[in-house]
Chain A
């Protein structure tokens, strides 16, 4: 199975900041990577697919990059509604695997 490792596991930031979350795959997955946002008690929300393409309706403050084994999610100009947990997932092969999550908290 492909292991997905996110860093950091948690992150404190202020409103208006720009933050970057990293996701590393244990083997190359081309660009078959998605990012999700999850708030407490809610279903995940899909943000990005194919490493850098925004899902419909997702604001451009979210951006993704990377290919192969290293990927990043960047969120610019943080607003209160952006504080949540973020997960990456590879869909290059079965079984699909998720990163352990990065909890973004208000400083």
Chain B
């Protein structure tokens, strides 16, 4: 069965970086995109960006452009998202999701990233 398992919660200071992993299984990794979505406490869903697991092409939300990098590792079928220069408003639960032609279908369990001094 399709599974996406994310790394554990992180607490970071402002200005630091965080890397969240998303280990996938149960499907052909390179046939899909990985999408990242975040949700600040009590707020709605915000699209962070997307990466093609086939060729590594990325699209990022303008709001995080220059601070976010998405990568994939095909041998381990794992996707990564790094956010640099963290600010307090980056505090959120970050989700990865598998995506093909019909939007996200399977989701990871979420990773809480807390940015606090």
In the assembled complex, which residues on chain A have CB atoms less than 8 Å from the CB atom of B46?
A: 98
Interface centre among A46, A53, A101, by most chain B C-beta atoms within 10 angstroms, is: A46
Q: Which of B91-114 contact A (CB under 8 A)?
A: 95, 97, 99, 102-110
Interface presence of A107 (CB below 8 A): no
Interface presence of B11 (CB below 8 A): no
Q: Of A13-21, A67-75, A76-84, A88-96, which binds chain B?
A: A88-96
B44 touches A45 (CB 8 A): no
Interface centre among A43, A44, A99, by most chain B C-beta atoms within 10 angstroms, is: A43
With A87-B44, A97-B47, A98-B47 already in contact, the answer to whether A46 and B108 are too (CB < 8 A) is no
Selected contact of B95 from candidates A43, A50, A55, A94, CB within 8 Å: A43
In the assembled complex, which residues on chain B have CB atoms less than 8 Å from the CB atom of A87?
A: 44-45
The minimal Cβ–Cβ distance linking A89 to chain B, given in whole angstroms, is 6
Interface size class of chain A, counting residues whose CB lies under 8 Å from the partner chain: 20 to 34
- For the residues of B in contact with A, the DSSP-based class is strand
With A49-B102, A95-B59 already in contact, the answer to whether A43 and B107 are too (CB < 8 A) is yes
Interface presence of A25 (CB below 8 A): no
Which chain B residue shows the least CB distance to A45?
Answer: B107
Interface presence of A100 (CB below 8 A): yes
Interface presence of B62 (CB below 8 A): yes
Residues of A within 8 A of B (CB): 32-34, 36, 38, 43-46, 49-50, 53, 55-56, 87, 89, 91, 94-101
The 6 closest A-B pairs by CB, nearest first: A49-B102, A34-B103, A96-B47, A43-B107, A98-B45, A91-B103
Residues of B within 8 A of A (CB): 35, 37, 44-47, 50, 59, 61-62, 95, 97, 99, 102-110
